[in-house]
Structure 1
Amino acid sequence: MKSLTKKYPWVRKTSIYWFWLNTVGRFISNFCHLKVYGRENIPKEGKVLLVANHKSYLDPPLVAYAVKKRPVFFMAKSELFEMPFLSSLIKHWGNAFPVKRGRADLTALKTALEVINNGELVCIFPEGQRAPANSFARAKWGAGMVALKAKVPIVPCLIEGSEKIIGKEKIISGWPKVTIRFGEPFYIDLEDKKENYQKAADVLMERIQELKVGNKSS
């Protein structure tokens, strides 16, 4: 983690993280009428990879507040670190590092693995972008690479309703109600080879989608 905190000095300000989580996070969750299911599926300690679908810019703080019992580290698109207000917000919140979208950002993927190997919980959004309402985007192969190289418990997370707040198509629509569901931890039984990365990424999205109420495995 030393190389991470040297490069991104705002990361790991634990007291600030919990302050923001218990103030801003609580406000956002109350505004969204957030309901959380399956929190008991998240290991209380140790290396964990959390994979979630992506609908809104507010997904990271919502997921962090839903996890609640331990810090969550996120990748955030690099453009956000170039916007004065959002950059300041991210750095005050802490526990986020940049990823360049549109191509495989190996530096960001290696950073995610470094954080995981330090015994932390890292959340990634396999789709790599906000998906339109009521749909999912195909996962990027980089997410599969992280999953296979990490070799740690993977917890699927389904976010529903956040697209009504700063989503891909709307800034705010009606009175939002957000639900977050965490599934049971799983492993992907594939060899760590480049040709398996997209297959692994597809498995991640399948496990997320299975959490929808009414699906066979829900």
Structure 2
Amino acid sequence: MIYRIGQFLCRIVLSGVFFAKIQGKEHIPSDGPVIICSNHKSNWDPPFLGSYIKRPLRFMAKEELFEKKFIGGLLRRLGAFPVKRGTGDRQSLKTGINHLKNGEMMLLFPEGNRSKDDQLGEGLAGAGFFALRTEAVVVPAYVKGWYKPFKGVQLTYGKPIPMDDLRESKASSREATERIMEHIRQLRDDIE
């Protein structure tokens, strides 16, 4: 219930203040495990990426945000779970795998941090880890714009990324992440 209310309120702000445009929603499967992998520019990205799709979206948020009881509780109700940044946080990896094995949808930012200069950085191995260890469909996404009022921001979801060959060849998590980043770059290039 809180998730749906949050989605509705975010859509009002994103559409009415940031003039959000959404493309490619048809590429998101209506069921089964899905990983949406996107560039990361702002704290607005998680609600933006989740507001216009019907399925609830799970996402990792830095552990520090969960230290305050109210904020932590709200984040959990909105689909977030904590991650210790800069470490191989086994608990958050296990939590993410479990969500995907339960057929849920998860949002990942392969770069790990927000970009301050609109450049795509190198992806970390985490996105590839989840893609290779589950049967999830991996959907790239690209956010264009800076969430400035009345300036416009665009979200494009791309076609699912082929991952079966990497799963069969037992590729490394880094190789899988690089393929994901290539598809995010291609989305960026196609809309600019």
TM-score, with normalisation over the residues of structure 2?
Answer: 0.89
1:186–1:194: structure 2 CA closer, same or farther, 3 Å change rule?
closer
Matching residue within 39, 49, 66 for 1:81: 66
CA distance in 2, matches of 1:194, 1:82: 38
Report whether the alignment pairs 1:132 with 2:107: no
For the pair 1:181 / 2:156, whether they are aligned, the reply is yes
Secondary structure of the 1:44 match is coil
Alignment of 1:138-157 (within 5 A): 138-157=122-141
Pairing 1:205–2:171 present: no
**Deviation of 1:144 (Å):** 1.0
What residue ranges of structure 1 are gaps of 5+ in the alignment?
1-14, 166-172
| Aligned sequence identity (%) | 36
Q: Is the 8 A contact 1:90 1:96 kept in 2?
A: yes
- SS in structure 2 at match of 1:157: strand
TM-superposed deviation, 1:37: 0.3
Shift in CA distance, 48/104, structure 1 to aligned 2, threshold 3 Å = same
CA contact (8 A) 1:41 1:185 kept: yes
Aligned length: 191
Instruction: Report the more deviating stretch, 147-156 or 76-85.
Output: 76-85
Partner of 1:42: 28
- How far is the alpha carbon of 1:117 from its aligned partner? 0.8
Q: Which runs of 5+ in 2 are unaligned?
A: none
Shift of 1:145: 0.8
Superposed, which structure 2 residues align to 1:1-218 within 5 Å? 15-67=1-53, 69-83=54-68, 86-87=71-72, 89-91=74-76, 93-161=77-145, 164-165=146-147, 175-188=150-163, 189-191=165-167, 196-214=172-190
- Give how far 1:119 is off: 1.0
- Secondary structure of 1:211's counterpart equals helix
SS in 1 for 2:172: helix
